[in-house]
A = this chain, B = another copy of it.
Amino acid sequence: MFSLFFTHINQKVELSEAEQQEVKTFFAPKKLRKRQYLLQEGEPCKYLALVEKGVLRSYNVDSKGVEHIIHFAMEGWWMGDIYSFLSGEPSGYNIDAIEDAELLMITLEGFEEMMVKVPRMERYFRILFQNNIISKERRLISSISYTAEEKYLRLVESSPELLQRIPLNLVASYLGITPETLSRIRKKLAQKK
């Protein structure tokens, strides 16, 4: 169960066997069926989850009822609403499974205790958060500076794995464009080649 978990963590920090045993105690496994919610808007986000298997998405729903995907998470990625998780405030997001999924989850109490008991995990999360900032910044620039076609091409470039596994209407939502526009862009690019 924890094999992918530690593979992932050891890419950023090295944990001793004892530390790994300690860390394990903070996490609980959970399975999610496709379409099942992990979090619904209005609830506080009680867990951060690492995806061991499957794909999740988080999204919000705007005043017109349109869904906007904030984030995907596949194997080795974390999922959760950090703001709600840390503050305890109700989340504005929904999180659900796009494919059947297996997760390892930690609560805020567990998270904070782990930071103190295993300082290497504090380092792990500092580094994880650094990388998260970098990728959010990229996406923001994409969203502000580029045309729909450029946004799509940047995604193809940066995350080809996603395009293999995720339906195009969800990719469109993630890019902040409509499925129709994405379809037309792909058609145009296919013809060009």
A residues engaging B (CB < 8 A)? 60, 62, 66, 68, 70, 82-83, 86, 115, 119, 122-123, 125-126, 129-130, 132-134, 136-137, 139-141, 143-146, 176
Contact = CB atoms under 8 A, between A and B. Distances in A.
Contacts of A119: 119, 122
Contact of A145 (B62, B122, B133, B136): B62
A132 B126 CA distance: 12
A176 B139 CA distance: 13
A82, A132, A137, A143: most-surrounded residue (chain B CB, <10 A) = A137
A70 B125 contact: no
A145 B129 CA distance: 24
Nearest to A175: B144
B83 A141 contact: no
Contact of A70 (B62, B129, B140): B140
A141 B143 CA distance: 10
A83 B137 contact: yes
A144 B141 CA distance: 12
Contacts of A62: 145-146
Given A115-B123, A122-B123, A144-B143, A134 B68 contact: no
A83 B134 contact: yes
Given A62-B146, A143-B144, A176-B143, A126 B122 contact: yes
A145 B68 contact: yes
Contact of A136 (B125, B126, B130, B136): B136
